[in-house]
Structures are given as C-alpha cells and as structure tokens.
Chain A
Amino acid sequence: MTLEIIKPGISTTIQDLGRPGYFHLGIPEGGAMDRLALRSANLLVGNPEDAACLEAVFMGPEIKFGADGVVAVTGAEMPMTLDGEPREAWTSFEVKAGQTLKFGFLTTGARLYIAISGGIDTPADLGSRSTYPIGALGGIEGRAVQEGDSLPVGSASGAAAGRSIPEELRRHPSDPEELRVLPGLYWDRLTDAAKASFFEDEWMVASEADRMGYRFKGGRALDFVEREAPFGAGADPSNIVDGCYSYGSIQVPGGTEPIVLHRDAVSGGGYFTLGAIISADMDLIGQLQPNTTVRFKRVDMDEALAARKEQSAVLEKIRSHLG
C-alpha cells in the first residue's frame, strides 16, 4: 500500500507522537503539534494512537491512494472531497485504490491530521517517524513531503467506516483565545509592572509561527529588574548564561516579542524565560492561525494539573466512545 502526494500543500510533514529522550543533545521531542487530534485520527481508523500521520498546516495536500483503506481527518476545519464527493471530518471513511482526496479552504484552526489504516510506514529515526528538518530526522530523508512522493503505508484492515467523534469532544480554537501560563523559570527578572502588563495586554499571533515556536506581537514591551550582568550571560538584560529551555516556555528577547517554544523547540539558549504555557494548552497553540488575538492567563500549579486532568478525560472519552 502506498499513498501518493499529488500536491504537497504549504508544509505537510509526517508526524507521530515524537522521539522523547534526546533533548539533552539538542534533538527535540517533535511529533504532532496537536497531539489529541493525531491520537483521535488514529483511533478513528483503528491504528495505535502513536501511528504516523500527515500533518498539514494552513492548506491541505492532494493525495491519491494506492490501495483500499480507511481514512480519517481531524484538527483544523477544512472541507474535503474524495473523488469529488464531500467527506466529513472527525469521521472514518473508506477509500479505494486510485481515489484522490482534496481539500478546500481552511475555516478554523491551523493544522489537520490525516490518518490512514496501517499508518505511514517510513523508516523511524531514534524511535520516531516524525519529521525534524533541522536534524534531517524522520519524514522522507528528514524533509516535508513533496509532489511525487510515494509514501509506504503499513498493512491493516482498519476500523469500520462511519465512526465519528462527537462535536463536544473536538477542540477548536476561538478568537480571541486564552492561553494559560504558569509563571516560573526567570519570572523574577521582570519588574512588577511588566509582570502585570504581560497578562493585561492583548497579543496577536505573529507570522513567525511554526513547529519550533510561536511568536506574539502587540503587547507593551517588558522591563527588567536592573542588575549587574552575570559573567557569561551577555550584556542585554534579557540574556542569561545559556541554559535548557522547557517545552512551552516563553522567552522574550529584548523584552519585546514573546516566543512560545513548541514541539520542535531548540533545547537551550541564552534568553530569559518568564514561565511556560501549561501542558494542557500546548495542543491548542498548534491550531492558532497568525493574527489570532491571544491573552495570557496566569494560573497556579493546581489549576495547571486540573486542566491536564480535563484533557486526559477528553482523551479517555474518545477512547471509550470508539472502544
């Protein structure tokens, strides 16, 4: 079984749940930006939750199936047709050899996930098929898919067609959106006024928003507590002695534009970080389009853990619904 890329879209990559364990060498976990959407797509077609799918951003690819199978598309909302016939998102459907799947224009969200029964079966690097172009790992020789690529697909009979995830279990971004932040890390580098304005101001997703990180613009610049620069940190008040970065951590080089590090994060560097987006909101960031208005909401650890539990409960419901 193969899957042929007729048109690749803007940036369509093979992703699974990533390759944890190598961040200490500068190789990020990677994997789906919206992990719940990838798990959902796999569950719909009867795959293991961590099977490799296609992740397409802003624009869908055009793909032709080389054999019969079962397909499901989750994540961003984008109308689609199979040989010209409309198909429902978040719902499994059958495909026949020779049929072509096409997408229309994006309505909400940013990234869609296309799962096929058997999963994409390209070679794994460091335990994952996820594409990480900077390290030339996973994907097709480490790159996004291109026109003419023929992707191997594992053999599996697949789940039945017509399985669907109920609307209330699908997570869509809204505009304005709220992202929850646990202050920490180098939070105390900021003045009290900056600590307050960061949460008061409206920010907007900038055009520099990709798998490595999301940049935000529009809020007031942040001021730093005065200090004598520590040896080795560098003179800028936003510099630190290069250290590790947390996934979801928020750095603000020069105090102007916050950057949230995402799945393909650099593992460390010399900028202060003011805290991190809570784990429960990381998937949501992957569905934000540029120009979306965002407010950062301060939460404490108890709230972060409660939100994480809620997210796990949604996944449990999806599992039992499709079980």
Chain B
Amino acid sequence: MKTRYTFGGDEHVFVEMDEEMSLAAFFKSLSMSNAVRDADIPGVTEICPANASFQVRFDPDKIHPDEMMSRIKELESKAEKSENRIDTRIVEVPVYYQDPWTHETLMRFRERHQDPEGTDLTYAARINGFDTVEDFIEAHHSAPWFVSMVGFVSGLPFLYQLVEREKQIEVPKYVRPRTDTPKQTVGYGGCFSCVYSVRGAGGYQMFGITPMTIFDPRQETSYLKDFMVFFKPGDIVKWKPIDREEYDRILKAVEDNTYTPRIANVTFDLDAYEADIAGTNAKLMEALNDA
C-alpha cells in the first residue's frame, strides 16, 4: 500500500491509500479521516471517507493549501498505529432477486449492455464462473458485506463482500450508463454491491430490489426519524433473499411505518477477520440471528 496525496483544485486534498480495493485500505482511510476530524484543523469544512481513499475540503482563505496538505500528512503515522477495530452494527437487508421492476428496466437498456442477449444476472453469473444464476445469487447473499463508502447520490452505500479475494465477484459497469434505475435496486459494479437510494441514472448491473427505504428526506419512515440517511461507512450488511409475497408484506410495513430492520451491535476487528474469515462471519451471523 502506497499513500498518494494530491490536490483537487484549490479547495480539496485527496488522499489515496491504495490503487486497489482492500479492507486494509478502507480501514486506513477511515482511521486517517477520523484522525483529521480529531485534529480539528482550522479551515476544514468537510471530510469524506471513501473505499480506499478520502477527501478533505477546506477554505483556502483560512489555511494555505500547502499547510493543509502537510497537516494531513503528519497524521498518517498516527493513523497507522490505530487499532483496526470498530464498534458497528450488522443489518439484515431483504432482497427480492430477479424482480419484475429491475427486469423491465434492464430490458429497456439492453443496447447499452455487454451482453444484449442475456440479463444482468445471467451475464454476471457466467463471467464469474457460476453454472446457474441461482448459484450466483447464493454467492451474493451467503456471506456478509461491509459498507466501505456512502455517496454518489443521497445516502447510496457501496458494499464490499467479506470473503477471500478469490471468491469476490467482479462485474464491469454497463458499457454506457442507463438513464433510469428503479429506487432501491441492488446493483453491482467492479467489486462493489450498492443499493440505489433514489430512482435515477446508473451504470451498475441490476440484480434485485429491496423493499427497505434507505433514504427519506421527509424522515417519516419509522427507522429514519433521527436522520434521513440509513447507512454509514463501517455498517455490515447481510442480504436476505425474499420472494414476491414477502416483498409486498415488507413494503407495506415500511409504508405503514411499522417496519423495524433486524439489527445487532457487533465489533469488527480486521486482524481477527483476516486470520479467520469463516469464523468471524459465523460470529457476525450469530449476533444477527440472536437479534
């Protein structure tokens, strides 16, 4: 891992922990961005952690960009010593795979796709070496995921799967982005899953849809009364496959403000995870199933 520092115009410092994605790069980015927050450097207006990088926005009228850059660089060694452990939560997110709404959408944009004859799921399953779509869907939901970034638009989470590198699914984005994606589509691009928080343009492959609202600007949804955005970096997610009947039932409960997502508080330790992935995931699932 080689840290790279650069400016984004005269108002941003951009720090890339690594060119490639790994949980180690994410943890380093998280602990460094936390260190920048704790340092309370005058002139900092916003800190945005991402998958394997982070960005600091500042007011160059208050601090010279070179000074800002060196203050951030000074924090790297401190961040390296910090514990790779976070107190977080695991959330069960129901997913209706192969649903009619993303299917209708993906058929409308077939000419923008690598494989116009197939569907996003048949394509993703084939290029990742799965015999059937069902096996592929099972791989997508059997191990939990880590929210490594929130962004793009309105609280959209990017998720990275907690499996060995060789088991990770990789799928390219659409050849040309779609102009439409149903709200709450579960998508996939590169090595990341995502949930589209709102309807709109998108380039990720579409696998299914969740009935769970994850962005509510009116804050009427029962579990979004405190804040309009559901996810934050560090959250752990377990997809739960559901059928149409259960989708309709949960959707109605969400709309009636009676839905409570299944959530358990957990601790995630990167070193323990890397030493024993299956054991760590089993403990996470145990906590979720007890909730």
Contact = CB atoms under 8 A, between A and B. Distances in A.
Interface of A: 20-21, 23-27, 125, 134-137, 142, 182, 184-185, 187, 230-236, 239-249, 266-270, 273, 275-279, 301, 304-305, 308, 312
A98 B153 CA distance: 41
Most central of A182, A239, A246 by chain B CB within 10 Å: A246
A160 to B, nearest CB: 31
A256 to B, nearest CB: 11
Interface of B: 6-12, 14, 16, 18-22, 45-55, 57, 60-61, 64-66, 149-156, 158, 160, 165, 170, 172-173, 189-192, 197-198, 200, 215, 217-218, 229
Contacts of A20: 45-46
Nearest to B21: A232
A304 B10 contact: yes
A234 B174 CA distance: 11
Given A25-B155, A137-B217, A305 B10 contact: yes
B174 to A, nearest CB: 11
Contacts of B191: 231-232
Which 3 pairs show the lowest CB-CB distances between chains A and B?
A246-B8, A232-B21, A276-B9
B46 A241 contact: no
A305 B9 CA distance: 10
Given A21-B46, A235-B172, 14 more contacts: A21-B45, A23-B46, A24-B47, A24-B150, A25-B155, A26-B151, A26-B153, A27-B155, A232-B170, A233-B21, A246-B11, A248-B8, A269-B152, A312-B61
Contact of A241 (B49, B51, B54, B55): B51
B7 A25 contact: no
B158 A242 contact: yes
A265 to B, nearest CB: 10
A125 B216 CA distance: 12
A21 B59 CA distance: 13
A30 to B, nearest CB: 12
Contact of A308 (B14, B60, B173): B60
A244 B20 contact: no
Most central of B64, B170, B217 by chain A CB within 10 Å: B217
B215 to A, nearest CB: 7
A245 B165 CA distance: 27
A217 to B, nearest CB: 16
B199 to A, nearest CB: 9
B50 A243 contact: yes
B217 A135 contact: yes
Contacts of B153: 26, 134-135, 266-267
A233 B55 contact: no
Contacts of B16: 243
B10 A279 contact: yes
Contacts of B170: 232
B8 A276 contact: yes
Nearest to B154: A135
A242 B14 contact: no
A246 B20 contact: no
9 contacts: A23-B48, A24-B48, A26-B197, A233-B190, A239-B173, A239-B190, A244-B53, A267-B153, A276-B12
A248 B198 CA distance: 24
Given A25-B151, A135-B154, A304-B9, A243 B173 contact: no
